[in-house]
Amino acid sequence: MDREGKITAYRILKAWLWKMDSTPVVGKSIAFYLDGTLLGTDNTRSTGLAQVGYTIADGAGAGARTIYAEWAGDGGYLPSSCTNTLNVLKATPYIWVMPRSVPQGGIARLYAYFRRLADYQKQEGKTVTFRVDGTWIADVVTLSGAEAGIARYQYPTVEPPGVHTIRCEFAGDAWVEAGYGEATLTIY
């Protein structure tokens, strides 16, 4: 059966093995493949159902992936197989922006932390855009190693005293949806 989910989501892949008269074939091993890679096997239950769980991996990003379920056959039954689709959607971004408070004309050390949901994997090498009150400030590439997923920029403030909005945006790519995080920039 066709399935759908975001990268990092857990899905149950299912197949049924039945005779031509629509009665289930019980206790037979069904192999499940995704794009040609074996994910696992399961024996059919009293309903003919076999299933394996799968956490959707990054792969080539969002798009259609082929699910293939196969019964190899035995002395009593001929082989059988079916092909379906796993429609993979982009992961959801999580961008946390550090609030800042600086004197007028001071340097605001802009800081954002970029992960994806649901596994909170740090996003390395992704370009994010910092804006203050909607005005572009800088495009920054997130770091790797010990500082993976972090974007930093030293911004010489030009705003008047008051509360302003720092926004860190990600435009999206093949693996993660577009998204943003916001925090306050207080100029005193």
Distance of alpha carbon 120 from the chain centroid? 9
Reported pTM: 0.88
pLDDT at site 1: 84
pLDDT at site 127: 99
Q: Do domains 3-89 and 92-187 have the same CATH topology?
A: yes
Q: What is the CATH number of domain 92-187?
A: 2.60.40.10
pLDDT at site 130: 99
Q: Does domain 3-89 have CATH number 2.60.40.10?
A: no
What is the number of other CB atoms lying within 10 angstroms of the CB of residue 58? 15
Q: What is the mean pLDDT of each run of 10 residues along the chain (188 residues)?
A: 96 96 96 98 98 96 98 93 98 99 98 97 98 99 98 98 99 98 99
Degrees, nearest 5: CA angle 68-73-75:
175
CA distance 184 to 132: 9
> For the chain, what are the domain ranges?
3-89, 92-187
* Residues 187, 164 contacting (CB under 8 angstroms): yes
